[in-house]
Amino acid sequence: MQTFAHLIDGKLVPGSRHFDVIDPATGSPFAACPDATRADVDAAMAAAARAFPGWARDETLRRRTLAHMSEALGAKAEEIGRLLCQEQGKPLAQAHAEVQGAARVFQLYADQPIPRDVLREDEKCRVTLVRRPLGVTAAITPWNYPVYTLVVKIAPAFLVGNTVVAKPSPFTPLSSLAMGAALAEVVPAGTLNVLGGSDEVGAWMTAHPAVRRISFTGSVPTGKKIMHAAADDLKRVTLELGGNDPAIVLPDVDPAAVAPKLFWGAFTNSGQVCVAIKRLYVHEDVYRPILGALADCARQVKMGSGLEPDTQLGPINNRPQFERVQALVEDARRHGGTVVVGGEPLPRPGYFYPPTLVTGVGEGVRLVDEEQFGTALPVIPYRDVDDALAQANRTHYGLGGSVWTRDVRRGEEIAERLECGTAWVNQHMQLGPTIPFGGMKWSGVGRENGHWGLDEFCELQVVNTARV
């Protein structure tokens, strides 16, 4: 069996205790993950704090290191992608693509300028805005895109001179530990530390006095706990949290053309995407044909182990989430909902729940009000677009949303009325490392990506010099 280790102060440190990592395609353990102790957390934090001053001073070294990280991760894309497929469940090709995409992000940051703005320059003074690093960053990630999510934290943190202690989800820790091992050969000791561990380890990290900044991606309840943990010490936080994205389909669409896009907007990665479509509002004129075409997509899609070559959708990642999706569909049934397709786990080991469409539900039913984060989608008819918008916005969530129409101008007008960090027209889930990403309301605090995201890893310092 392959073994895994923490990365602490440039060394691979075997764990003194372990927990099982389950393959969601079988429901059985396939590897053991080291579970960090408090002493491991302290050692990682001390190493990151020691490495910080020299790292913060040497931009040339940081850019060179980021470029080497890109190469080192790219070289291991096959191996790490396979681990990711096994522990997360996604199809192997998508797992490889995630690792390769993450490797490109390191190179992107190696080349990204650090802005140095001159705010005023005249006979009286020169005012410059300088970006300074914060110090030790705690990076904590969830289980849906563990490699990419971690890299979009490490890369900007590194570019501006922070050091990092990272902790992946206990459901998908191995790809991050393998990434740590691959990067250990190219990063200076202490700048990057990666710990396997449970939720408790995350809590130790966020309360740790060495940490100046917390970059977190995960659920709303954990995000709130982290904000509490950060308050005493006024640590800076970025929270990328859950979503309950609405998509609003106007009556002028071509159902056959739009339905497959809606289907993949909802069910990519088996619905385990923060910005997946999670509530679908369809105008009553096109409701029947859209529902029919979505059901066809659901019946045709191939769900299976990520290692099977023709798999399009893998299992749900873990048993609690698998049970939650089932519970939400059962609750919808109890509240008068009709399951059009899906609605029962596949009769095989592992956490397979097929794409499920539910009608006859609306506000007040959990499947509509809560984030399902899995393979079940409520499809809700509407007559008046203002009413659909009101329903779409009547939520604590505000991550993404979309409008679907042939009238692009009108689509943009409606999109601007959606209360969410990203509003798409005729697409959903299109993201990029240079486009700011984050949530309104409970879906997050702060933004990732581009120069907006970079600023979150900096203190902005004004240097104001009088002319003499």
Of 141, 150, 138, 135, nearest to 207 by C-alpha is 138
Contact 31, 2 (CB under 8 A): yes
Q: Would you count residue 140 as binding ligand NAD (CB under 6 A)?
A: yes
Q: Would you count residue 314 as binding ligand NAD (CB under 6 A)?
A: no
Is 274 among the catalytic positions? yes
Q: Would you count residue 271 as binding ligand NAD (CB under 6 A)?
A: no
Q: Which of 156, 196, 202, 446 binds ligand NAD (CB under 6 A)?
A: 202
Q: Which of 44, 274, 282, 440 binds ligand NAD (CB under 6 A)?
A: 274
Place of tokens 């539910």: 358
Q: How far is the CB of 178 from ligand NAD (least distance, A)?
A: 16
CA distances from 160 to 64, 130, 190 (A): 13, 11, 16
Q: How far is the CB of 170 from ligand NAD (least distance, A)?
A: 6
Q: How far is the CB of 47 from ligand NAD (least distance, A)?
A: 20
Q: How far is the CB of 320 from ligand NAD (least distance, A)?
A: 8
Of 207, 56, 49, nearest to 130 by C-alpha is 56
Q: Would you count residue 374 as binding ligand NAD (CB under 6 A)?
A: no
Q: Would you count residue 444 as binding ligand NAD (CB under 6 A)?
A: yes
Contact 165, 211 (CB under 8 A): yes
Q: Would you count residue 167 as binding ligand NAD (CB under 6 A)?
A: yes
Place of tokens 């999109």: 415
CA dihedral 393, 396, 402, 403 (to 10 degrees): -10
DSSP SS3 for 413: helix
Contact 102, 151 (CB under 8 A): yes
Is 33 among the catalytic positions? no
Q: b or e along 188-210 (b: 16 or more beta carbons within 10 Å of the residue's beta carbon)?
A: eebbbbbbbbbeebbbbbbbbeb
- Closest to ligand NAD by CB, 80 vs 250, is 80
Q: How far is the CB of 443 from ligand NAD (least distance, A)?
A: 6
Q: Which of 23, 40, 240, 456 binds ligand NAD (CB under 6 A)?
A: 240
Q: Which of 40, 87, 371, 456 binds ligand NAD (CB under 6 A)?
A: 371
Q: How far is the CB of 186 from ligand NAD (least distance, A)?
A: 25
Which is the catalytic residue, given 85, 87, 98, 274? 274
Q: How far is the CB of 255 from ligand NAD (least distance, A)?
A: 28
Which is the catalytic residue, given 87, 98, 240, 456? 240
Q: Would you count residue 24 as binding ligand NAD (CB under 6 A)?
A: no
57's tokens: 């001073």
Q: Where are the alpha helices (DSSP H) in 160-196?
A: 174-184
- Closest to ligand NAD by CB, 162 vs 169, is 169
- Closest to ligand NAD by CB, 373 vs 457, is 373
Give me the sheet containing 163-167, strands edge to edge. Answer: 11-14, 5-8, 192-194, 163-167, 136-140, 211-217, 236-240, 444-445
Ranges within 420-439 binding ligand NAD (CB under 6 A): 439
Q: Which of 199, 254, 363, 412 binds ligand NAD (CB under 6 A)?
A: 199
Q: Under 8 Å CB-to-CB from 266, ≥6 apart: which residues?
A: 247, 276, 277, 278, 280, 355, 377
Q: Which of 141, 238, 268, 395 binds ligand NAD (CB under 6 A)?
A: 141
Q: How far is the CB of 414 from ligand NAD (least distance, A)?
A: 23
Distance of CA 380 to the CA centre of its chain: 27
Of 344, 350, 346, nearest to 305 by C-alpha is 350
Q: Are strands 400-404 and 422-425 parallel, antiparallel or unpaired?
A: parallel
Query: Using CB atoms, what's the residue nearest to ligand NAD?
Result: 202
Q: Which of 84, 102, 226, 262 binds ligand NAD (CB under 6 A)?
A: 226
Of 408, 428, 374, 413, nearest to 246 by C-alpha is 428
Size of the site for ligand NAD (CB under 6 A): 29
Contact 172, 165 (CB under 8 A): no
- The amino acid present at 465, given as its one-letter code, is T
Q: How far is the CB of 250 from ligand NAD (least distance, A)?
A: 26
Q: Which of 133, 135, 170, 315 binds ligand NAD (CB under 6 A)?
A: 170
Q: Which of 128, 219, 359, 393 binds ligand NAD (CB under 6 A)?
A: 219
* C-alpha to C-alpha distance for 204 and 409, rounded to whole angstroms: 49
Q: Which of 65, 162, 215, 217 binds ligand NAD (CB under 6 A)?
A: 217
Q: Which of 55, 264, 322, 373 binds ligand NAD (CB under 6 A)?
A: 373
Q: Which positions are catalytic? A: 240, 274
Name the site residues for ligand NAD (rule: CB under 6 A): 140-144, 167-170, 199, 202-203, 206, 217-219, 222, 225-226, 240-243, 274, 371, 373, 399, 439, 444
